[in-house]
């Protein structure tokens, strides 16, 4: 009788171990893929306003920095390879004339530093960067993009600048070169 109990316990242990092994050896299954909105409501409103203000320009959303920047060394490229510009404004010749970034209404200190770093990268490459907290209103966009004159609607003479309402983001570019 003891022998039957011992054999039963051993067989039960072997069966449990086999089940655990087969369960662990199975590859994890993927979850179901679903569609996702390309732009959230804040981005949809911003792109609509940009298109209204910048008639004749092309507005692109979520553009990789890899599409905007190039460098000789891969270690430099690694600094920006996962970054994305919120909006890129192209003129009628499909040349980049400005980059628009839209932040949360209350960004964290870490996020502000990351945004500053991204702005500096783009500005070092010669891009004009406009950064807004929250969705920019029509008046602010008009001031930033049409402040020179209506004749200058191709943006040729714009200087690299940040919007006047975002002076908190201006920094020393020497920090960027040392990182």
- Total H helices, total E strands in the chain: 7, 4
Asked whether residue 76 is assigned to any structural domain, the reply reads: yes
Instruction: Identify whether the C-beta of residue 55 lies closer than 8 Å to the C-beta of residue 142.
Output: no
Q: Are strands 58-64 and 129-133 parallel, antiparallel or unpaired?
A: unpaired
Which pLDDT band holds residue 11 (cuts at 50, 70, 90)?
Answer: confident
Q: What is the pLDDT of residues 31-86, one digit of tens each?
A: 889 999 999 999 999 999 999 999 999 999 999 999 999 999 999 999 999 999 99
Instruction: Identify whether the C-beta of residue 84 lies closer than 8 Å to the C-beta of residue 173.
Output: no
Residue 91 confidence (pLDDT):
93
DSSP code at position 159: P
What is the pLDDT averaged over residues 161-179?
A: 43
Asked whether residue 23 is assigned to any structural domain, the reply reads: no
Asked whether residue 20 is assigned to any structural domain, the reply reads: no
Number of domains in the chain: 1
Asked whether residue 16 is assigned to any structural domain, the reply reads: no
Nearest to 44, CA basis, from 69, 62, 23: 62
Asked whether residue 19 is assigned to any structural domain, the reply reads: no
Asked whether residue 14 is assigned to any structural domain, the reply reads: no
Residues contacting 155, CB < 8 A, separation 6+: 89, 91, 97, 98, 128, 145
If one compares 141 and 173, the residue with the highest pLDDT of the two is: 141
Q: Are strands 129-133 and 84-90 parallel, antiparallel or unpaired?
A: unpaired
Q: Are strands 96-103 and 129-133 parallel, antiparallel or unpaired?
A: parallel
d(CA 147, CA 140): 10
Which pLDDT band holds residue 158 (cuts at 50, 70, 90)?
Answer: very low
Asked whether residue 26 is assigned to any structural domain, the reply reads: no
The sheet with strand 58-64 has its strands ordered as 58-64, 84-90, 96-103, 129-133
Residue 26 confidence (pLDDT):
66
Which pLDDT band holds residue 165 (cuts at 50, 70, 90)?
Answer: very low
Asked whether residue 15 is assigned to any structural domain, the reply reads: no
Which domain does 130 fall in, by range? 41-177
d(CA 117, CA 119): 5
């Amino acid at each position: 009788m003891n022998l039957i109990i011992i054999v039963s316990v051993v067989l039960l242990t072997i069966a449990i171990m086999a089940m655990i092994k087969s369960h662990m050896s199975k590859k994890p299954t993927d979850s179901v893929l679903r569609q996702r909105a390309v732009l959230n409501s804040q981005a949809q409103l911003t792109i609509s306003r940009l298109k209204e203000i910048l008639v004749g320009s092309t507005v692109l959303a979520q553009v990789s920095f890899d599409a905007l920047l190039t460098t000789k060394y891969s270690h430099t490229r690694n600094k920006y390879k996962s970054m994305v510009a919120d909006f890129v404004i192209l003129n009628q010749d499909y040349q980049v004339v400005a980059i628009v970034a839209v932040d949360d209404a209350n960004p964290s200190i870490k996020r502000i530093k990351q945004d500053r770093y991204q702005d500096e990268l783009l500005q070092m490459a010669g891009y004009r960067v406009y950064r807004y907290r929250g969705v920019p209103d029509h008046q602010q966009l008009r001031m930033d993009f049409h402040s020179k004159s209506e004749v200058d609607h191709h943006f040729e003479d714009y200087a690299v600048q940040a919007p006047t309402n975002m002076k908190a983001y201006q920094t020393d570019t020497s920090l960027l070169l040392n990182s």
